[in-house]
Amino acid sequence: MAILVIAEHDNATLKGATLNVVTAASAIGGDVVVLVAGSNCGAAAEAAAKVAGVSKVLVADNAAYEYQLAENMGELVAELGKEYSHILAAATTTGKDFLPRAAALLDVNMLSEVTAVVDADTFSRPIYAGNAIATVKSSDSIKVMTVRGTAFDAAAAEGGSAAVEAVAAVKDAGLSAFVGEELAKSDRPELTGAKIVVSGGRGMQNGDNFEMLYKVADKIGAAVGASRAAVDAGFVPNDMQVGQTGKIVAPDLYIAVGISGAIQHLAGMKDSKVIVAINKDEEAPIFQVADYGLVADLFDAVPALENAL
Amino acid sequence: MKVLVAVKRVIDYNVKVRVKPDNSDVDLTNVKMAMNPFCEIAVEEAVRLKEKGVATEVVVVSIGPKVAQEQIRTALALGADRGILIETEEKLESLTVAKLLKAVVEKEQPQLVLLGKQTIDSDNNQTGQMLGALTNMAQGTFASEVVVDGDKVNVTREIDGGLRTVALKLPAIVTTDLRLNEPRYASLPNIMKAKRKPLDVTTPADLDVAMTSTLSLVKVTPPAERQAGIKVGSVEELVEKLKNEAKVL
């Protein structure tokens, strides 16, 4: 049995999410082969070869894969994936984009956001926004799935020495083209990988007040997130959204500031190890999941917190 | 151009889902049902394209039990022109849904297919992409902006680090994200008018699609409950607890 893991990368570096997927693959058992499909992606492939537990790295290096467009990736993964018992990718916006295409081309179903491996055919995944956990057994010849990174520890990035093999196949569907990208620039850690996350909600009142959270975050190396209410109100961009419709995070410490705790938001952060809630409404539902609750006006508490750290 | 919109009948998003005591599934007895919120955004986008003169006809398709006609009527009340129900009582997996939609695409030949990025019941986020693969169409998933430009469509997508724009050859598939638009409410006159709009009913057998299943539900369990912790009296106490008790700072 061999498992194909599709690497998440930006051609130059391997993204952390790949390490969690490798752990999920190891939990299924069998040889773990990582596919790095990109353009001038040699550095990412070398990084993948060093990941502990990886037995081989396949590199598909072609301009057709530079932006990992779903149409091209789907065809490539379907072609290479035929030889494997399982195909895994991270449940990121990239993995979610191309992997269902590959599954359909292979004429198999797919499991999204797998959070636990029961055995080689059986997996758990959240449904109904995490309000229920389904355990599903697949009879497909190839099991195709995206893996929720927060549910699996990261494999060690160093220690492996896998062979790197070039893939000849070039799949260019010619259906789509990259036009442009607007990526948020930040020196803070990525939300989904950060050890500490500080999030603001509607209680922040406006976007300028998020400055207070940035100051706290920078003192403790945290990422900054937001509730959907704060995003909908236009305080901050959508890529900061934590919740069912945004990012799923599970840091060691999650500090919710001025967030009431709608189910929608809890779905995105309730697996955090320690949750702190700062809210002036002591009835706010966020306190029902918080390990430490502070009933206070955030405009007093947040500057005080910054000073105390 | 013709726009096809797929919609699904799901549990109303305001309903708190409960797992059955025997862990066989979630309990949907007497639960309020509605159109999946992401599908509503897809309908709204199609109607706006028609209002802008880009779309000439908006066809809405749903797959499910007879009562799913309600959701098609809702879409018709929001401005879609006609509906198609593929009637089945069976539980549907994404691949089967994609195959059924492919059969409709072949018959209707739309230039654009709009779907929600995921449904709030199974949370799969697969059908649009699978339909794209089966029909060999380009896809723009998690769309926050859709601009039709001649023989292509530019789709701005919500990705993890921000936004990405791709140009897709038409015909193409677009799946909607939350910020694409804010769906309107249907007015009473439009609800009345929708009752007279055409709604065809067909079946998977008519479309020559086999209802296969490869996924079996072993069990459904509630998620681990979190216990409420303690209230602290001050920021100083909070920091002290985080450092010495929780050891996360």
Verify whether the Cβ–Cβ distance B139 to A97 is below 8 Å: yes
> What is chain A's mean pLDDT, rounded?
96
Query: What's the confidence (pLDDT) of residue A120?
Result: 97
Question: Is A233 an 8 Å CB contact of chain B?
Answer: no
The dihedral formed by the CA atoms of B103, B107, B113 and B114, expressed in degrees to the nearest 10: -70
Query: What's the confidence (pLDDT) of residue B62?
Result: 98
Tally of CA atoms within 13 A in the half-sphere of A178 that contains its CB: 15
- Chain B residues near residue A245 by CB distance under 8 angstroms: 178
pLDDT above 90 for A263 = no
Verify whether the Cβ–Cβ distance B133 to A102 is below 8 Å: yes
- Beta strand pairing call for B199-202 and B82-87: parallel
pLDDT band of residue A184 (cuts 50, 70, 90) is confident
Query: What's the confidence (pLDDT) of residue A244?
Result: 83
pLDDT above 90 for A145 = yes
Query: What's the confidence (pLDDT) of residue A180?
Result: 97
Query: What's the confidence (pLDDT) of residue A246?
Result: 86
Mutate to test the interface with B, among A107, A257, A291, A295 (most CBs of B within 10 A): A291
Each residue's pLDDT tens digit, A95-143: 999 999 999 999 999 999 999 999 999 999 999 988 899 999 999 999 9
Give the closest-approach CA distance of B81 to chain A in angstroms.
29
Query: What's the confidence (pLDDT) of residue A301?
Result: 97
Question: Is B47 an 8 Å CB contact of chain A?
Answer: no
pLDDT band of residue A1 (cuts 50, 70, 90) is confident
What is this model's ipTM?
0.95
Mutate to test the interface with A, among B242, B243, B245, B247 (most CBs of A within 10 A): B242
Comparing CB atoms, the residue among A118, A295, A309 nearest residue B231 is A295
- Chain A residues near residue B230 by CB distance under 8 angstroms: 291-293
- Here the tokens at position A51 are 């990941």
Residues 6+ apart with CB under 8 A from A146: A88, A89, A90, A91, A95, A96, A99, A110, A111, A112, A113, A114
Question: Is A170 an 8 Å CB contact of chain B?
Answer: no
Q: What percent of chain A has pLDDT over 70?
A: 100
Mapping DSSP onto H, E and C, the string for chain A reads CEEEEECCECCCCECCHHHHHHHHHHHHCCEEEEEEEECCCHHHHHHHHCCCCCCEEEEEECHHHCCCCHHHHHHHHHHHHCCCCEEEEECCCCHHHHHHHHHHHCCCCEEEEECEECCCCEEEEEEHHHCEEEEEEECCCCEEEEECHHHCCCCCCCCCCCEEEECCCCCCCCCEEEEEEEECCCCCCCHHHCCEEEEECHHHCCCCCHHHHHHHHHHHCCEEEECHHHHHCCCCCHHHEECCCCECCCCCEEEEECCCCCHHHHHHHCCCCEEEEEECCCCCHHHHCCCEEEECCHHHHHHHHHHHC
Beta bridge partners of A127: A132
A14-29 mean pLDDT: 97
- Per-10-residue mean pLDDT, chain B, length 249: 98 92 96 97 98 98 98 98 97 97 98 97 97 98 97 96 95 95 96 97 97 96 89 96 93
Verify whether the Cβ–Cβ distance A103 to B130 is below 8 Å: yes
Query: What's the confidence (pLDDT) of residue A245?
Result: 80
A286-303 mean pLDDT: 97
Query: What's the confidence (pLDDT) of residue B161?
Result: 83
- Beta strand pairing call for B152-159 and B9-11: unpaired
Model-level pTM?
0.93
Query: What's the confidence (pLDDT) of residue B226?
Result: 85
Do residues A270 and A250 make contact, with C-beta atoms less than 8 angstroms apart? no
A252-260 mean pLDDT: 97
Question: Is B126 an 8 Å CB contact of chain A?
Answer: yes
pLDDT above 90 for A186 = no
Verify whether the Cβ–Cβ distance B123 to A128 is below 8 Å: yes
Comparing CB atoms, the residue among A110, A131, A135 nearest residue B17 is A131
Do residues B11 and B35 make contact, with C-beta atoms less than 8 angstroms apart? no
Each residue's pLDDT tens digit, A49-96: 999 999 999 999 999 999 999 999 999 999 999 999 999 999 999 999
Give dist(CA B139, CA B133) in Å, integer.
9
pLDDT band of residue A185 (cuts 50, 70, 90) is confident
Comparing CB atoms, the residue among A97, A140, A177 nearest residue B129 is A97
Verify whether the Cβ–Cβ distance A94 to B160 is below 8 Å: yes
Give dist(CA A215, CA A192) in Å, integer.
20
- Chain A residues near residue B162 by CB distance under 8 angstroms: 181-184, 237, 239
Comparing CB atoms, the residue among B121, B218, B239 nearest residue A135 is B218
Give dist(CA A271, CA A274) in Å, integer.
9
Chain A (251-270) residues lying within 8 Å, Cβ to Cβ, of chain B: 252-253, 263, 270
Query: What's the confidence (pLDDT) of residue A307?
Result: 96
Comparing CB atoms, the residue among B161, B218, B228 nearest residue A184 is B161
Give the closest-approach CA distance of B195 to chain A in angstroms.
31
Residues 6+ apart with CB under 8 A from B47: B58, B78, B79, B80, B184
Exposed, middle or buried, B113 (CB in 10 Å: 0-12/13-18/19+)?
A: buried
Cα A155 from chain centre: 15
The answer to whether the bond into B171 is cis (omega within 30° of 0) is yes
pLDDT band of residue A41 (cuts 50, 70, 90) is very high
Verify whether the Cβ–Cβ distance B139 to A70 is below 8 Å: yes
The amino acid occupying position A120 is: A
Comparing CB atoms, the residue among A109, A247, A290 nearest residue B215 is A109
